[in-house]
Amino acid sequence: MRRTLAALLGCAALVAGCGGEEHGDLKQELAQLTKDFRGQVPPLPQVKPYEPVPYSGEGHVDPFRIERIEVAQTSRSSGGASKIAEQEKRVKEPLEAFPLESIQMLGTITQEKETFALVKAGPNLYRVKKGNYMGQNFGVITIIDEGQIKLKELVQDSNGEWVERASALQLLEAQK
């Protein structure tokens, strides 16, 4: 048993001795190429002393007083609210169930001096004219020409006010 153990230890020593330094030639070449390199750290910038700035707004009107905020809110026009009230009273048209981005203009038809547009929303085809509504932003059709349908939409701005916005639906060109 001792002989077997001694033989195993001897084999392990031989295997360890044969391993040597791996990639020794590469390490030696790298050491030779980088021996002249010296790292340089730029000096730190000079710290400027803090100079306090005096507050000079004490004599001015405080823009955040409650009275000033209430005055600004009452001066807002109530025109947007009346426009929404009008829109909510009327009966919704079928194309108002679709977002304007999902409606496609396919072409125009002129009958008895009145121009109609053909639009596709979902699986259905619709014929619309000036004054019809489409889209989910209370969009009313103002102009129909051969290349586009122009609408006037009613949307909320960043202040929560209802404002009118012009938008258009372009003719979908045929795929060749």
The pLDDT score that the predictor gives to residue 76 is 53
11 or 71, greater pLDDT: 11
Mean pLDDT within 1-27: 72
Question: How many degrees, rounded to 5, is the angle at CA 119 between CA 114 and CA 123?
Answer: 145
Q: Where are the domains of the chain?
A: 93-170
> Could you tell me the pLDDT band of residue 176, with boundaries at 50, 70 and 90?
very low
Distance CA 127, CA 116 (A): 6
Identify the bridge partners of residue 124 per DSSP, sorted by sequence position. Answer: 121
pLDDT of 1 = 77
Buried-state track 60-70, b at ≥16 Cβ within 10 A, e below 16: eeeeeeeeeee
The pLDDT value given to residue 152: 95
Of 103, 104, 127, 131, the residue nearest 117 (C-alpha): 127
Residue-wise pLDDT tens digits, 95-144: 999 999 999 999 999 999 899 999 999 999 999 999 999 999 999 999 99
Residues listed for the chain = 176
| Strand duo 114-121 + 124-128: pairing | antiparallel
Tens digits of residue pLDDT in 69-88: 555 555 455 556 677 888 88
pLDDT at 149 over 90: yes
Which residue in this structure is represented by tokens 């077997």?
Answer: 4
Maximum Cα–Cα distance across the chain = 115
CATH classification for the domain delimited by 93-170, as one of 2.30.30.830, 3.10.300.10, 3.10.20.600, 3.40.50.150: 2.30.30.830
Burial of 173 (0-12, 13-18, 19+ CB in 10 A): exposed
- Cα–Cα dist 58/154, whole Å: 42
- The tens digit of pLDDT for each residue in 18-49 reads 555 678 888 889 888 888 877 788 899 999 99
Closest residue by Cα to residue 122 from 101, 148, 139, 153: 101
